Amino acid sequence: MQQRSLGPFQVSAIGLGCMNLCHAYGQPVPEAEAERLLHAALDLGITHFDTAALYGFGVSETLIGRFLAPLRQRFTLASKCGMTGVPNEQGVKVRVIDGRPATLKATCEEALRRLRTDVIDLYYLHRWDKSVPIEDSVGALADLVRDGKIRAIGLSEVSAATLRRAHAVHPIAALQTEYSLWTRNPEIAVLQACRELGVSFVAFSPLGRGFLCGPLDIDAFDAKDIRRTMPRFTPAHYPHNAGLLPAYLAVAQEVGCSPAQLALAWLLHQGPDILPIPGTTHVEHLRDNIAAADLSLSPEVLERLDAVMNDRLVSGNRYNEQARREVDTEESA
């Protein structure tokens, strides 16, 4: 697979997002299936693995540590802090955003143990805790760099202005935000800021949380599927959005690729500094995604894609009101 720069690292153009293994889209996959997928990704040339303390409240990091620690030198490891599971009064873990320096450092120590490694290559602030100055949170991550616990710092779901403030404290290697044909928020300002500062851009949910793979049965979503809380997938908005798919699927058919490959290839064509990290629980989908790196799209096809699938045509916000308050990304007027 072609290689791209992820901060100071050279990695596969398409990485693997490891949230799906245990978090957000239904029941966790059996450990044997997780092991099979992780090893298949390495064998197929993926060298960029992205996880977080939040995913399964540590389960995703644990799986990577259990199954890939002996192969640690073969891939670049990214994880995240600042959004974790904390026990409530009933002892049930709930999601908490906490960017205090002491919390970030403690989370890193826990992650190192779960991942069975001495150092995390790229460590992101998963969410900016707006009650803590970004300078303080990034300062704590800079301490972890100096201590040799992490090699580079990343940010997730922040604005161009926040990126610049953070970068003034310590160089930011990568910024991660949702980006796909139907989610264009990064195009407002943060992509340009990344390019001015030399920051790699990692695109999560590059397949539109499955939307860009073809029609979905939203009624069949698992009860814990996070898409149930996302306006675009609700009965009020999804029928309209599903109506955009035929024109998009027609382009994929004409190009001779799968809808997922078309979405990933479009992202790769947006710039050499963009690194998509699709997630999956199926090896066959993994193979399909990877093939997108070899797909060349003509200017005419790229123009058609922009016309048939963009955020101006989509109905509904990507997050509900609570999640929108928690992120710092720019939104179109």
Return the active site residues. Answer: 55
> To 10 degrees, the CA torsion angle through 332, 276, 282, 223?
-30
Tokens at 326, concatenated: 């928690």
Sign of CA dihedral 162, 163, 167, 172: positive
> To 10 degrees, the CA torsion angle through 293, 294, 299, 300?
-110
Evaluate whether 183 touches 208 at the Cβ level (below 8 Å): yes
φ, ψ of residue 59 in degrees (nearest 5) = -65, -45
Partner residues linked to 200 by β-bridges: 174
- Distance in angstroms (rounded) separating the CA atoms of residues 150 and 239: 45
